[in-house]
Structure 1
Amino acid sequence: MIVFSHANSYSATTYRQLFEGWRAAGQEVVAVEHFGHDERFPVDRSWRGMTQQLVALIDSQAEPRLWLVGHSMGGYLSLLAAGQRPGRVRGIVLLDSPIVYGWKAGLVSMAKAAGQMRRLSPAGVAIRRRDRWPNLVEAHRHFAAKPMFARWHPAVLNDYIHFGTEQDPADHAGTGRRLKFRPEIEAEIYSTVPHRLVAYLRLHPPGGPVAFVAGTRSREVRQVGLAATHRLTQGRISWMEGSHLFPFERPEDTVREVLDWIARLESES
């Protein structure tokens, strides 16, 4: 069974093409639809609430040991939850979730303490993000025109538009759509990203082997580097053509890469 965790601002259903591929290969897949939107598991300074939401999902599964797969933010949450439930983890596959460490982690710490994360991180962009459209057609036109979304597989973009938006409660005509993943929550998640993950994992080992898949054109990988990730994974790193969002650009290839890593990690145990 795969327990999947999504990237910031993208609901789990956006990854439907990946889920269907893994299920066709015989894996069950479960996921939290929107981290950060349940008042029982709020966004906080070290993502404790969201981690506990993932732990609760892990605890609810009957299968004793699980594969954790996470994209970007979801990779961090997978590691944090694995540290709380190491005995439930068969292995972890991180999709472009490079580990912040060293002076860069110190920079994040200072920015958080000074309340400057909206300047350092994408939080400032998130809070200004357009989140409403008069109908689904206009929403699709808006995103399809942007270079980032134009690189996505068409089926993934359609899933994002249809499942990542909801009826706009402020639109009395009934056709308006708004993003389900609220920009203010997206911004708060960026502003509270954990910066002591390496120290956390020393105290709370994840309980299973870890692999990492990096996008060849990932700005996040270039900015953060892979030194700490290389140590965590013991060199279990592969590359996928694409940006930080390669799971949306190349869903079929991502399905195969994750399944390949699961097979390799399983052979090690």
Structure 2
Amino acid sequence: MREIIHFSHANGFPVTTYRKLFGELDGEFEFRAVDRYGHKPEFPVTRGWPHLVEELLGDVDRQYRQPVWLVGHSLGGFLSLMAALRRPERVRGVVMLDSPIIAGWRASLLKTAQMLGIDEKPGPAAVTKNRRTHWPDAEAVWEHFRAKPNFAVWDQDVLRDYAIHGTEPTGKDSERRLRFDREVEYWIYRTLPTSLGRKVARGAPVPVGFVAGTRSREVRQCGLGATRRLVGSNLRFIEGGHLYPMERPQQTAQLVRELIGAMRQQGR
């Protein structure tokens, strides 16, 4: 019987974007996921994301009786860890994919910036505000993102999945629009949790692993001090930026497999 991974996506990327990564592990794990966080009115985006954590845990409670592995990328890594802190009896372990813990003076600075409303400019929220959302057809989506440097380095199968499954028909000829609501994405960026570092200062109730991109801007900005203290020996590096699961899905899958194997032993 395959073990279960409940996967949580990065902000702005529906879970179908990760199909190639899932395929690499399909023989060993059964994947389940929330398709798009923050799109149900009963789970709104608010400061610190408490309702998004509820959405994750609600999905886990509905689908499984036994504890499961939580794996998440960026936003999804944070939600997975927060879910494990809230309900450790439902979780075997957590793998965070480029979700560095914000702690210490960085967390204090972010909290102050949020209170003053000046946290938008330094991060991706400002870019999200003006992101294009509509294209004439799926091929136009593909061409649009393929021309962007941050997307040009993606695995081509993953980029194709995003072009097709990250968009949906509008009903007007072949026109397509982004499936992930731009406003939801924007407010997720604006409501980052600032207390997570304090909550894990003495460790977590389940094993936690972390995979850091060697060129990740997010890792550079947040540092890895708090993350290293949390995960200990369960720290791995992979060539790539913050979106390395899209750039190197096969290598990412291998590291997820490796970390779960290590944490499986630690949990005995």
Q: TM-score, normalised by structure 1?
A: 0.95
**Aligned-residue offset at 1:250:** 0.6
- Give me the whole-angstrom Cα distance separating, in 2, the residues matched to 1:202 and 1:150: 38
The answer to whether structure 1 residue 7 and structure 2 residue 23 are counterparts is no
Deviates most, 57-66 or 13-22: 57-66
RMSD: 1.3
Q: What corresponds to 2:184 in structure 1?
A: 185
CA contact (8 A) 1:118 1:187 kept: no
CA contact (8 A) 1:68 1:89 kept: yes
1:119 is aligned with what amino acid?
K
Q: Tell me the secondary structure at the aligned position of residue 209 of structure 2.
A: strand
The answer to whether structure 1 residue 148 and structure 2 residue 150 are counterparts is yes
- Give me the whole-angstrom Cα distance separating, in 2, the residues matched to 1:122 and 1:244: 12
CA contact (8 A) 2:204 2:230 kept: no
Identity %: 45
Structure 1 regions of 5+ residues with no counterpart? none
**Aligned-residue offset at 1:201:** 3.5
The answer to whether structure 1 residue 123 and structure 2 residue 121 are counterparts is no
| Runs of 4+ with >6 A deviation | none
1:132-179 deviations in Å (ceiling 9; x for gaps) = 11111111110011111111111100100100001125xx3x211110
How do residues 85-234 of structure 1 correspond to structure 2 at under 5 angstroms? Answer: 85-168=87-170, 172=172, 174-201=173-200, 206-234=204-232
Q: What corresponds to 1:17 in structure 2?
A: 20
- Give me the whole-angstrom Cα distance separating, in 1, the residues matched to 2:227 and 2:204: 14
CA contact (8 A) 2:94 2:206 kept: yes
- Give me the whole-angstrom Cα distance separating, in 2, the residues matched to 1:107 and 1:87: 33
**Aligned-residue offset at 1:234:** 1.9
Q: Tell me the secondary structure at the aligned position of residue 120 of structure 1.
A: coil
- Give me the whole-angstrom Cα distance separating, in 2, the residues matched to 1:206 and 1:61: 24
1:214-236 deviations in Å (ceiling 9; x for gaps) = 01111111111000001111242
- Give me the whole-angstrom Cα distance separating, in 1, the residues matched to 2:116 and 2:122: 11
Q: What corresponds to 1:251 in structure 2?
A: 249
- Give me the whole-angstrom Cα distance separating, in 1, the residues matched to 2:235 and 2:204: 17
- Give me the whole-angstrom Cα distance separating, in 2, the residues matched to 1:102 and 1:206: 17
Q: TM-score, normalised by structure 2?
A: 0.95
1:248 is aligned with what amino acid?
M
- Give me the whole-angstrom Cα distance separating, in 1, the residues matched to 2:69 and 2:205: 11
2:210 is aligned with what amino acid?
F
Correspondent of 1:58 among 57, 60, 63: 60
CA contact (8 A) 2:103 2:198 kept: no
CA contact (8 A) 2:104 2:197 kept: no
For these two proteins, the number of residue pairs brought into alignment is 264
**Aligned-residue offset at 1:120:** 3.0
Q: Tell me the secondary structure at the aligned position of residue 120 of structure 2.
A: helix
Structure 2 regions of 5+ residues with no counterpart? none
Correspondent of 1:73 among 72, 75, 85: 75
Q: Tell me the secondary structure at the aligned position of residue 72 of structure 2.
A: strand
1:207 is aligned with what amino acid?
P
Q: What corresponds to 2:266 in structure 1?
A: 268
1:11 is aligned with what amino acid?
P
Q: What corresponds to 1:240 in structure 2?
A: 238
